Amino acid sequence: MTTNDNRQHTRMAEKIAQIDSLCARARIMPVITIAREADILPLADALAAGGLSVLEITLRSAHGLTAIRLLREQRPELCVGAGTVLDLQMLAAAEEAGAQFIVTPGSTAELLKASLDSEVPMLPGTSSASDIMLGYALGYRRFKLFPAEVCGGTAALKALGGPFGDVRFCPTGGINPDNLQRYMALPNVMCVGGTWMFDSQWVKNGDWARIQQCSAEALQLLA
């Protein structure tokens, strides 16, 4: 193994440790798409007050990068990542905004390779064994299963645990209070992503107390 290979292996091991740490802290990771800039701080505060302090801010809206910048500046106690990163331009923009981790809905060789040279850890998306193998060959061992329920849910995760014994997942998509415990009971699940704790109508109405309560109740299911 060359010096460069050793350096890359060490860097990937550090990133895996970072992902493990933030997922252990999160347990449930809110996947947030900001519709109005005015919602950024009160929504984050309500989720954090309920115990959810690791936030995935998607880049699906024009306010995504603004939200990451604002939260990194105004709420440094939170762990803020960028989700729905689709290409190299979005990856660079998310890193520039201060994202502490990157989440993608799927995997491309271009994104996986680019992330190897980044200081920011990536949780690449997967929906199949082939996706996992693409990342596995580059050293990735932590993935987002998306969309989890459509991809087979807990049955798929159990099956993937056979050939990929050292891989762990953050399933997202279709997770709710009814199936949350089944996902978290699996040994290859490190946390889950979801949106049920901040219904869009609650956000629109500024019902922050309800969001705080729902967040706390979600974590209580895992107590």
Catalytic site positions = 56, 144
Task: For residue 94, give the nearest of 74, 123, 128 by alpha carbon.
Answer: 123
Query: Which pairing describes strands 142-145 and 102-103: parallel, antiparallel, or unpaired?
Result: unpaired
Q: How far apart are CA 7 and CA 161, in angstroms?
A: 28
Residue 87, number of CB atoms within 10 A of its CB: 13
* 3 state SS for 29-45: EEEECCCCHHHHHHHHH
- Which amino acid, one-letter code, is at 75? R
CA distances 67 to 9, 32, 113, 144, Å, are: 32, 10, 27, 22
